[in-house]
Structure 1
Amino acid sequence: MSHDFVNPAALHDPTGFGYSHVVRTPGGLVFVAGQYASDAEGNVTSDDFAEQVDRSLENLGTALAAVDLGYADVVRLRTHIVDHDMDKLAVLAARIERIWGKRPPTQTLTGVASLALPGMLFEVDAVAVRP
């Protein structure tokens, strides 16, 4: 069995940007590319940080659902925050707790000067494991 690349119809077509949203591996690992607050055309949907976090995590959920997984299957997150500060960390922590409760996946947070597209303030990628 080879790797299976998946680009859910509910998310923008990422191939023009040079990537796929999800790849399933024969060993059961699933990698989800960086999700941001994008609409169906790939445009950033808001200039509000909290709204971007919410939309990015919703898009992550959509990507996971496309391969019959959910948030509970995520074992690793990488998050990227433009101009990171403690207020933004508090927003992210609240969203993580809302989704994963007291058992969040591992996470690496990186503060960055900018992300791939103008207006992006947050991005999250994930590794999940098929049960």
Structure 2
Amino acid sequence: MPHTLSNPDDLHDPTGYGYSHLAATTGDLVFVAGQYGSDHDGHVVSDDFAAQVDRAFANLGVALRAAGLDYRHVARLGTYVVDHDADRLTVLLDRITRIWGDTPPAQTLLGVATLALPGMLFEVDAVAAR
């Protein structure tokens, strides 16, 4: 499937980590790489789980807008939570409800022991449809 890879200027440059933020097909699909609570330099912004979730979803929004889309276009989410528990699930559910209301996208949540960088507690990737 032909596709175009891109990295929005408003997000950190991920190429040093071995990936691109967006892969858009010539058809209707846009794949957004895992977004985490990162600043413009790729550093984790906080050690607070809720703050990381907020920033990760904000970064997801930046990536979507760079592709001419928004949260309404998201068909599927992959969410990854370090040390998953009921409190973290409550935070995640609150943020998803704020963004998508009563019609959230399909989602797979994985509880994991660790993520790519020290201090990362949450990551979200997405598939969006034009």
List aligned pairs for 1:18-57, cutoff 5 A.
18-57=18-57
Instruction: Mark the runs of 5 or more structure 1 residues left unpaired by the alignment.
Output: none
TM-score of the pair, normalised by structure 2:
0.98
Partners in 1 of 2:4 and 2:79 — Cα distance? 24
1:21-75, Cα deviation, whole Å (9 max, x unpaired): 0010012110000000001110000000000000000000000000100000000
Residue of structure 2 equivalent to 1:17: 17
For the pair 1:98 / 2:91, whether they are aligned, the reply is no
Paired positions, count: 130
Instruction: Mark the runs of 5 or more structure 2 residues left unpaired by the alignment.
Output: none
Partners in 1 of 2:69 and 2:96 — Cα distance? 17
Partners in 2 of 1:35 and 1:2 — Cα distance? 23
Residue of structure 1 equivalent to 2:82: 82
Amino acid at match of 1:121: L
Task: Let me know the Cα RMSD of the aligned residues.
Answer: 0.9
TM-score of the pair, normalised by structure 1:
0.97
Secondary structure, aligned partner of 1:96? helix
For the pair 1:113 / 2:113, whether they are aligned, the reply is yes
- How big is the shift at 1:6? 1.3
- How big is the shift at 1:2? 3.3
Secondary structure, aligned partner of 2:97? helix
- In the TM superposition, structure 1's runs of 4+ consecutive aligned residues that sit over 2 Å from their partners are none
Amino acid at match of 1:96: I
